[in-house]
Amino acid sequence: MNYLPKVKTKSTKRLGRGYGSGKGGHTSSRGMKGQKSRRKMGILFEGVKMKKSLLRRLPLTRGKGKFKANPKPLLLSLDDLNKIKSGSRVDINYLIDTGVINAREALCGVKVVGNGKIEKKLKVALPVTKSAASKIKDAGGTIEA
């Protein structure tokens, strides 16, 4: 008796593997000549000679995170905010002007995290974490949305 289950899906025909494969023979369904009959198409190929492919139209970014879509913001600890004089309004432009961060780092945005302590009253106009917000309020500072 045969106890094996019935297989409903047929395996795909493998091109160019001889006559017994079901798609064998001289050109094995690839046509006569040309780029497509010889090898795989390149990843940059889109079929038209004039039009640049999508990958070539995208701006070239170098380095480790070049394929990442959403870069993470720069994380700024409360210890870094202690370098700023008391009573000032802290935003990205102010941080660049005072030299706490450089302009290239600020391209993805800045977020204040609650590492360390803060002793100064500051008006923070940046995204902050919950712990950083409570520490800034305890020191007498305010957070602007």
Give me the domains of the chain, ranges plus CATH numbers. 15-58 (no CATH), 74-143 (3.100.10.10)
Q: What is the pLDDT of residues 37-78, one digit of tens each?
A: 888 887 777 777 677 777 777 778 788 877 777 778 999 999
pTM for the whole thing?
A: 0.53
The predicted pLDDT at position 1 comes to: 66
Q: How far apart are CA 92 and CA 144, in angstroms?
A: 13
Residue 109 has pLDDT above 80, yes or no: yes
126-144 burial, b at 16+ Cβ within 10 Å, e below that, comes to bebeeebbebbeebebebe
From CA 80, how far away is CA 100, in angstroms rounded? Answer: 7
What pLDDT was estimated at residue 59?
79
| Rounded average pLDDT over 24-38 | 82
Question: What tokens were used for 129?
Answer: 């974490």
Q: Residue 95: is it exposed, middle or buried by C-beta count within 10 angstroms (0-12/13-18/19+)?
A: buried
pLDDT 10s digits, 82-95: 888 899 999 999 99
Yes or no: say if 142 and 124 are a contact pair by the CB < 8 Å rule: yes
